[in-house]
Copies of this chain bind each other. A is one copy, B any other.
Amino acid sequence: MSDTTATQDTTAAQDTTAAQGSARIEAAHAAFEAARDAAPRTRAGWLEAVASALEANADELVPLAQRETHLAEGRLRGELKRTVFQLRLLADEVVRGENLQATIDHADPDWGMGPRPDIRRVNVPLGVVGVFGASNFPFAFSVMGGDTASALAAGCAVVHKIHGGHQGLGLRTGEIAAAALAGAGAPAGLFSTVLGREAAELLVEHPLVKAVGFTGSTSGGRALFDKASRRPTPIPFFGELGSINPVFVTEKAWDLRKEEILDGYAGSFTLGMGQFCTKPGLLFAPAEDTGELAGIIGGRLEDTPASPLLSPRLREGYDGAVAEVRGAAGVEVLIEGSQDDAPRPTVFATTADAVRSNPALLEQEMFGPATLVIRYPRGTDLAELASLLDGQLTATVQAEPDEDLASLLAVLREKAGRVLWNGWPTGVTVTYAQQHGGPYPATTSGTTSVGTAAVGRFMRPVAYDSFPPAQLPPPLRDENPWGIIRRVDGAWQPIPNGGAR
């Protein structure tokens, strides 16, 4: 995005036209071609420049985000810190060359199936990636969030569709990022933004777009996934759609830690007004006395601050989902929320039998401060209950370390991308082992959108067969000029200088 265009957009905030969108995609493709062979340290420098620029502009960006999203300042500062950290962690990963998965097999006349030629493989970036920002994390899953950061780390160019819920912040973040990239020497157009529905569809349909990263609703995400799959040349669509994030409390844990568990639950489902992809929307507990349950949770909710939801459209969806659950057979209101502009939390309760007769109840995501407790009778097979669930980002057990939970954990592993023990799913650390993605409809692929493993989504392998040394790309030359981690003749070689930058 040129500064001129961005400034015009900021002033008028008009939707990007198809012609403007195409021009940005074409500019992104040209930038990708210019940048795809950049050395790891160069690329890492670009990510670092964006990280520093976001950090330097925090005092402008955070108040802008507050105004547009109603999220609290502390939460937004934490989220910006996480976004900056993520860019730097990915920069380190780029320098280590982990994403390249460079693999060298020297010629071997004695190879078991017959003589092997010299063959070497490296991951290359896909090209232009379309990224759709989420409304609920205006920094970490938006303009310079995980999808954009990992696509840039992969060596791709990004055209980002700004979420309408924080348009001003999105445009300003885009300007700051584009200026930082330009200042660090990245080719113009490597990162740009678009606004509006027409440009959004173009991002999935344009022949030069080679992959899409998306965080949003199940219906919207599925429609775009279908569009991506039906192209003459289909492209991968990495979509994070819906997740209810069940929590299973064992009888033993309930007996020992009922109050502590309900305390954590109340804190987690109301965090950020319940607007987390990983909000615990279902709690399976052996609770007998609904009055006691309401008393404990209600007490914990008294001090919860309330604020408006992220957008009127989202509020409408929340109200509809809450009404659906409220009207379902066998559901009772444990704690009545409010219909205020800043709604108070709502807690429903139902029984194991009710969800067995109506498993759809387990698929109703209430995106906001509402949740459903499923009371199960003692002696219930939790694995059987868990098998009623759809795919999830997370599943949690509240249990004691000496319990035999093999059958429950086996089911949860099939249902979720991250399984937690005695924790709460709303915290998602950015690290090497993170997995933020699970079976459909949680995500449309088995990959993660958080952590270092997110980078590989935007790359594909290319093998070089029998190449003379001078014609090989740097990551595959014997002398390892980039100093990256590589697998050579089957064994991983340590990074020459330990991977220090």
Given contacts A230-B226, A419-B462, contact A470 B120 (CB under 8 A): no
Q: A339 contacts the other chain (Cβ, under 8 Å)?
A: no
Q: Please give, as numbers and ranges, the residues of chain B lying within 8 Å of A233 by CB-CB distance.
A: 391, 439-441
The contact of A433 among B104, B230, B447, by CB within 8 Å, is B104
Docked pose: A85 CA to B468 CA in angstroms: 28
Contact in complex: B81, A431 (CB < 8 Å)? no
Q: Please give, as numbers and ranges, the residues of chain B lying within 8 Å of A33 by CB-CB distance.
A: 410
Contact in complex: B417, A119 (CB < 8 Å)? no
A-side interface size class:
35 or more
Q: Please give, as numbers and ranges, the residues of chain B lying within 8 Å of A465 by CB-CB distance.
A: 418-421, 423
Which of A124, A421, A459 has most chain B Cβ within 10 Å? A421
A116-158 contacts to B (CB < 8 Å): 116-117, 119-121, 124, 126-127
Contact in complex: A113, B229 (CB < 8 Å)? no
The contact of A420 among B104, B229, B466, by CB within 8 Å, is B466
Docked pose: A37 CA to B409 CA in angstroms: 12
Docked pose: A82 CA to B117 CA in angstroms: 15
Separation in Å of the A321 CB from the closest CB of chain B?
A: 20
Separation in Å of the A457 CB from the closest CB of chain B?
A: 10
Q: Please give, as numbers and ranges, the residues of chain B lying within 8 Å of A459 by CB-CB distance.
A: 446
A474-491 toward B: CB 8 Å interface, digit per residue (1/0)?
000000000001010111
Contact in complex: A103, B413 (CB < 8 Å)? no
Q: A89 contacts the other chain (Cβ, under 8 Å)?
A: yes
Q: Please give, as numbers and ranges, the residues of chain B lying within 8 Å of A439 by CB-CB distance.
A: 233, 460
A449-468 toward B: CB 8 Å interface, digit per residue (1/0)?
00001000001111111111
Q: A422 contacts the other chain (Cβ, under 8 Å)?
A: yes
Docked pose: A234 CA to B239 CA in angstroms: 12
A44-62 contacts to B (CB < 8 Å): none
The contact of A103 among B111, B432, B440, B470, by CB within 8 Å, is B432
Q: A427 contacts the other chain (Cβ, under 8 Å)?
A: yes
Contact in complex: B460, A120 (CB < 8 Å)? no
Docked pose: A31 CA to B5 CA in angstroms: 58
Q: A444 contacts the other chain (Cβ, under 8 Å)?
A: yes
Contact in complex: A421, B471 (CB < 8 Å)? yes
Q: A20 contacts the other chain (Cβ, under 8 Å)?
A: no
Which of A391, A463, A464, A487 has most chain B Cβ within 10 Å? A463
Q: Please give, as numbers and ranges, the residues of chain B lying within 8 Å of A499 by CB-CB distance.
A: 491
Contact in complex: A119, B431 (CB < 8 Å)? yes
Contact in complex: A86, B103 (CB < 8 Å)? no
Contact in complex: A234, B230 (CB < 8 Å)? no
Q: Can you name the residue of chain B whose Cβ is closest to the Cβ of A82?
A: B113
The contact of A423 among B113, B121, B435, B466, by CB within 8 Å, is B466
Q: Please give, as numbers and ranges, the residues of chain B lying within 8 Å of A467 by CB-CB distance.
A: 419, 421
The 5 closest A-B pairs by CB, nearest first: A446-B460, A435-B463, A229-B229, A85-B113, A401-B468
Known pairs A233-B439, A432-B487. 18 more at Cβ < 8 A? A81-B113, A81-B114, A82-B114, A85-B113, A88-B112, A105-B432, A105-B434, A117-B423, A117-B429, A119-B434, A225-B229, A229-B230, A419-B462, A419-B465, A420-B465, A423-B465, A446-B460, A447-B461
Instruction: Show 20 residue pairs from A and B whose CB-CB distance is below 8 angstroms, ordered by the A residue.
Output: A82-B114, A105-B431, A111-B429, A116-B431, A119-B433, A121-B434, A121-B453, A124-B413, A401-B468, A401-B471, A416-B462, A417-B460, A417-B463, A432-B490, A433-B463, A434-B463, A435-B462, A435-B463, A448-B461, A453-B461
